[in-house]
């Protein structure tokens, strides 16, 4: 499995290396909600099926066997960064950004900045929350 990184991902990982005192690692494929999303952790202990698949700015990148086998040889992924936050324990979120994976050779340069929803779907959500959820407040 080949893991490379964009210049911006390298810059973000290097910056977190300056901000954090512990050992940083990137782990791919262990997220409970985001499955294959990359996570930048401080003082993380990789699981028994995690093995190093690369290094970015001196930070080891780990992946489990199921993911390594999906990308044999020189097939692989690219670590990149987006300015969209999600709930995460990944330390680069302190910078207001998030690591993501892209396929080799993918570029988002020609992609529209927003997803366009065709036709009648663009008018929004129709319906109501179930009674049990109507008074809920979520704090971010």
Q: Where are the domains of the chain?
A: 2-103
b vs e for 20-46, b when ≥16 Cβ sit within 10 Å of the residue's Cβ?
eeeebbbbbbbeeebebbbbbbeebeb
The 10s digit of each residue's pLDDT in 6-48 is 999 999 999 999 999 999 999 997 666 656 789 999 999 888 9
Return the pLDDT at 111: 61
Does 116 score more than 60 pLDDT?
no
Residue percentage of the chain with pLDDT more than 70? 76
Residue percentage of the chain with pLDDT more than 90? 39
The 10s digit of each residue's pLDDT in 52-64 is 999 999 999 999 9
Q: Tell me: domain 2-103, CATH 2.60.300, correct?
A: yes
Does 90 score more than 90 pLDDT?
no
Tokens 């005192």, located at residue: 21
Does 3 score more than 80 pLDDT?
yes
Among 13-17, 52-56, 90-94, 128-132, which stretch is predicted with the lowest mean pLDDT? 128-132
> Does pTM surpass 0.75?
no
Contacts of 62 (CB under 8 A, 6+ apart): 25, 26, 27, 28, 46, 50, 51, 52, 53
């Amino acid at each position: 499995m080949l893991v490379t990184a964009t210049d911006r991902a390298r810059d973000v990982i290097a910056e977190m290396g300056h901000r954090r005192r512990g050992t940083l690692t990137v782990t791919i494929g262990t997220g409970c909600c985001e499955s294959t999303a990359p996570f930048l952790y401080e003082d993380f202990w990789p699981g028994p099926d995690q093995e190093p698949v690369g290094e970015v700015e001196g930070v080891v990148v780990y992946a489990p066997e199921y993911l390594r086998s999906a990308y044999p040889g020189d097939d692989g992924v690219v670590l990149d960064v987006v300015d969209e936050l999600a709930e995460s324990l990944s330390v680069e979120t302190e910078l207001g950004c998030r690591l993501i994976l892209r396929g080799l050779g993918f570029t988002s340069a020609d992609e529209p900045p927003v997803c366009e929803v065709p036709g009648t779907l663009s008018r929004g959500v129709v319906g109501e929350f179930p009674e049990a959820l109507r008074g809920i407040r979520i704090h971010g």
